[in-house]
Amino acid sequence: MKRIKKFRGFIFGFALAATAFCFIQAKNADSYFEISKNLDIYTTLFKELNTYYVDPIEPGKLVKSSIDAMLDGLDPYTTYITESDIEEFEFQTTGKYGGIGANMREKDGRIFVSEVYEYSPAYKAGLHPGDEVLVIDNQVLKGKNVDDIGVLLKGSAGTNISMKIKDAYTGIESTKTFKREEIELAPVPYFGLTGKNKDVAYVHLAQFLPNVASMIKKDLDSLKKLQPNLKGVVLDLRNNPGGLLNEAVSICNLFLDKGQLVVNTKGKVPELSEEMHTTQQPWDLKIPVTVLVNQYSASASEVVAGTLQDLDRAVIIGVRSYGKGLVQVTHPLGYNARLKVTIAKYYTPSGRCIQVKDYSNRNADGTVSNIPDSLKKEYKTANGRKVLSGGGVEPEVNVPNEDISQLVITLYNKNYFFDYTTQYVKEHKTIAPAGSFTLTDNDFNAFSKWLENKDYSYKSYTEIVLDSLKQIAIREKNYDAAKTEFASLQAKISHDKKQDLTKHKAEVMRFLEGEIVTRYYYMRGRVENSLKTDDDVKKALEILDQPTQYQALLSPKK
């Protein structure tokens, strides 16, 4: 009897499994039929358009538009990459391109060199910021924009390009010939010793490009050789948009033991889900580490910050990070086109996903909201500290961003910092080392005088809001009754340009210093100079100087 019951149970289980299998097969068949049907409709529609539409159509442009519209309903990281976009995509993922190593900017319909990369063909040929570019390969540049110029400058390494240049310092026009090289952006624009005793290693990581982890290890080794008694490490990931996930794992490995889980990815396709562990011996397991993040630290940056936070291996400083917890891969589509598609979400060692936006649930108007606080889940670090999912990486120490004044934005957008720097460099052959260079009050007065005949008028945020309120009052027919009050308020908040310069003197000087230092010491100099007034770095040094405070920040609150 028992055998009969077991047999009947087996038959029932088998039948249930078979039914489920058939259901899944039927569901897949329905899905495949829908795909096939709609592709057939799309192809037929495309042929009909090509045959009957009154004007000629551009097939590639139409297909690109239709694919972009289709992907627009997903997340912003799933994109269609055409053959013409491949070069830019490769540059974003490798940091390499064929060119001369110079950036351009447009001003009043003219093209100027805005930046020259150190040791690049442009650098070797004596090109410098402020030079006006008149002709490239016999093409006059009048009417062309910066994107057009970028296309002309890029090309295969080893090919030549000629440019007619008007020198910013002498005014002499000449034609220069450059041989393009493979230009590789520096993922670590600056590293060095900082702190009052020069006993803290600072590393600025701009992007997670190939082999960057081994590069940082060498940098740290060299700093440790200079200062054997290192007190700590400041890893700066601010404004870092991410990059290669395996490099993020390797960077975590510098401070974590071999075999440690760093991140795991989970997606719809089980074969594409994986756990990623450290595989090498660490650089240092004991040295205190601080990681700087801001609202533009994303993806791989958040893997590093989130993992070191989960394992209580670093104190995170700054403001909440961007919140991108999605993983993308690319698939070839034929004809050198590709699909970059989100295949998974990633999870830090505590189990949390830091993804902020929920693209699977859009609002009625198509917008995407942040994951509400009520749906954020609580997780624990190795020491038992509370961390939350769905909100980026929240720092242990919050250092608010300083808002950029409307005055500085106006001076920057009108190229006044850039133009004055060109004059300054013409008059100063050398300056102090980047780390110690500081503008004086006389320098500020000279800049103020140079601005006297320049138009840098702007509306403050208060004036913009008042104008908006005035328009609303006019529309609602309330303005006449409040005209006197509006005029009085306008008079009180109107600004004097000279007073504004004095009020924002420190900020203006900081931006001008950065522009000037970059001309002499390039991006590495700009970063080094900025450390003098960097509130995040100051806070990191303060914490590293107090081991008790450092440990308290990594311990659960009592």
Share of the chain above pLDDT 90, in %: 71
* Contact indicator for 511, 417 with CB cutoff of 8 Å: yes
Mean pLDDT of 260-289: 95
pLDDT at 28: 58
Which is higher by pLDDT, 532 or 26?
A: 532
**Alpha-carbon distance values, 65 to 114, 193, 331 (Å):** 33, 50, 19
> Are 133 and 222 in a shared domain?
no
- Phi, psi (deg, nearest 5) at residue 552: -65, -35
pLDDT at 547: 96
> Are 370 and 425 in a shared domain?
no
> Are 445 and 538 in a shared domain?
yes
pLDDT at 496: 67
Cα–Cα–Cα angle for 508, 147, 92, rounded to 5 degrees? 85
Whether the pLDDT of residue 307 is over 70: the answer is yes
Look at strands 200-204 and 232-236 and give their pairing. Answer: parallel
Q: Given pLDDT bands bounded at 50, 70 and 90, which one contains residue 489?
A: confident
Question: Which residue type occupies 515?
Answer: E
DSSP alpha helices (H): ranges in 332-405? none
Residue 182 host element (H or E): strand 181-184
CA distance linking residue 318 with residue 103, whole number of Å: 30
543, two tokens: 């914490």
Mean pLDDT of 209-238: 97
Look at strands 315-318 and 397-398 and give their pairing. Answer: parallel
Q: Which residue has the tokens 């010491």?
A: 521
Q: Is residue 201 part of a domain?
A: yes
Length of the chain as a residue count: 558
Q: What is the DSSP letter of 532?
A: G
CA distance linking residue 176 with residue 135, whole number of Å: 10
550, two tokens: 């450092």
Q: Where is average pLDDT lowest: 94-98, 158-162, 276-280?
A: 94-98
CA distance linking residue 402 with residue 415, whole number of Å: 22
82, two tokens: 């055409």
Share of the chain above pLDDT 70, in %: 94
Give 43-93 as a DSSP string.
HHHHHHHHHH-SS---HHHHHHHHHHHHHTTS-TT-EEE-GGGHHHHHHHH
Of the residues 144, 236, 324, 405, which is catalytic?
324
In terms of Cα–Cα distance, which of 291, 278, 284 is closest to 248?
278
Three-state DSSP class for 513? Answer: helix
Model pLDDT for residues 362-397, shown as the tens digit of each residue: 888 888 989 888 889 999 999 999 999 999 999 999
pLDDT at 402: 86
CA distance linking residue 385 with residue 323, whole number of Å: 20
> Are 199 and 323 in a shared domain?
yes
pLDDT at 367: 87
Q: Where is average pLDDT lowest: 43-52, 213-222, 531-540?
A: 43-52
Q: Is residue 104 part of a domain?
A: yes
The per-residue b/e assignment along 200-220, b for 16 or more CB within 10 angstroms, e otherwise, is bbbbbbbbbbbebbebbbebb
User: What is the torsion angle, in degrees rounded to the nearest 10, for the CA atoms of residue 41, residue 43, residue 45 and residue 49?
Assistant: 180
In the chain, the number of structural domains is 3
Q: Is residue 35 part of a domain?
A: no
Residue 324 annotated in active site: yes
Cα–Cα–Cα angle for 325, 328, 329, rounded to 5 degrees? 160
Question: Which residue type occupies 238?
Answer: R
> Are 391 and 430 in a shared domain?
no
Whether the pLDDT of residue 27 is over 70: the answer is no
Of the residues 250, 299, 301, 350, which is catalytic?
299
Distant-in-sequence, close-in-space partners of 345: CB < 8 Å, separation ≥ 6: 265, 266, 267, 325, 326, 327, 353, 355
Whether the pLDDT of residue 505 is over 90: the answer is yes
* Chain centroid offset of residue 337 CA: 25
Model pLDDT for residues 99-138, shown as the tens digit of each residue: 999 999 998 889 999 999 999 999 999 999 999 999 999 9
**Alpha-carbon distance values, 399 to 3, 200, 291, 316, 521 (Å):** 71, 20, 12, 10, 28
Q: Is residue 56 part of a domain?
A: no
pLDDT at 24: 43
Q: Is residue 205 part of a domain?
A: yes
> Are 220 and 319 in a shared domain?
yes
Q: Where is average pLDDT lowest: 197-201, 450-454, 544-548?
A: 450-454
Mean pLDDT of 402-407: 89
Q: First CA to last CA across the chain, in angstroms?
A: 63
> Are 283 and 334 in a shared domain?
yes
Q: Is residue 78 part of a domain?
A: no
Q: Is residue 339 part of a domain?
A: yes
* Contact indicator for 348, 329 with CB cutoff of 8 Å: no
Which is higher by pLDDT, 238 or 402?
A: 238
> Are 163 and 205 in a shared domain?
no
pLDDT at 18: 42
* Contact indicator for 254, 283 with CB cutoff of 8 Å: yes
Of the residues 310, 312, 500, 534, which is catalytic?
310
Model pLDDT for residues 163-199, shown as the tens digit of each residue: 999 999 999 999 999 999 999 989 999 999 999 999 9
Mean pLDDT of the chain: 90
Residue 221 annotated in active site: no
Which is higher by pLDDT, 59 or 380?
A: 380
pLDDT at 102: 95
> Are 107 and 143 in a shared domain?
yes
pLDDT at 22: 43
Query: What's the chain's Rg over C-alpha atoms?
Result: 29
CA distance linking residue 281 with residue 283, whole number of Å: 7
Residue 241 sits in a domain of what CATH number?
3.90.226.10
Mean pLDDT of 76-92: 88
* Chain centroid offset of residue 531 CA: 20
Final residue in a domain of this structure, among 144, 167, 184:
184
pLDDT at 86: 86
> Are 415 and 511 in a shared domain?
yes
Whether the pLDDT of residue 5 is over 50: the answer is no
Residue 349, CB-side half-sphere exposure with 13 Å CA sphere:
24
- Phi, psi (deg, nearest 5) at residue 148: -60, -40
CA distance linking residue 128 with residue 122, whole number of Å: 8
CA distance linking residue 66 with residue 88, whole number of Å: 21
Q: Is residue 26 part of a domain?
A: no
295, two tokens: 């609202």
pLDDT at 77: 95
Final residue in a domain of this structure, among 359, 382, 398:
398
Mean pLDDT of 327-350: 94
Three-state DSSP class for 339? Answer: strand
CA distance linking residue 213 with residue 246, whole number of Å: 9
47, two tokens: 């042929």
Mean pLDDT of 519-544: 97
Q: Given pLDDT bands bounded at 50, 70 and 90, which one contains residue 495?
A: low
Residue 101 sits in a domain of what CATH number?
2.30.42.10
Q: Where is average pLDDT lowest: 59-63, 240-244, 386-390?
A: 59-63
Could you list the residue range(s) of the whole structural domain that residue 161 is in? 96-184
> Are 393 and 436 in a shared domain?
no
pLDDT at 250: 98
Whether the pLDDT of residue 461 is over 80: the answer is no
Q: Residues 176, 178, 184, 188: is their CA dihedral positive or negative? A: negative
Give 109-177 as a DSSP string.
TEEEEEEE-TTSHHHHTT--TTPEEEEETTEE-TT--HHHHHHHH---TT-EEEEEEE-TTT--EEEEE
> Are 268 and 417 in a shared domain?
no
The per-residue b/e assignment along 41-65, b for 16 or more CB within 10 angstroms, e otherwise, is eeeeeeeeeeeeeeeeeeeeeeebe
Q: Where is average pLDDT lowest: 121-125, 410-414, 492-496, 543-547?
A: 492-496
Final residue in a domain of this structure, among 350, 369, 398:
398
CA distance linking residue 174 with residue 406, whole number of Å: 39
Residue 299 annotated in active site: yes
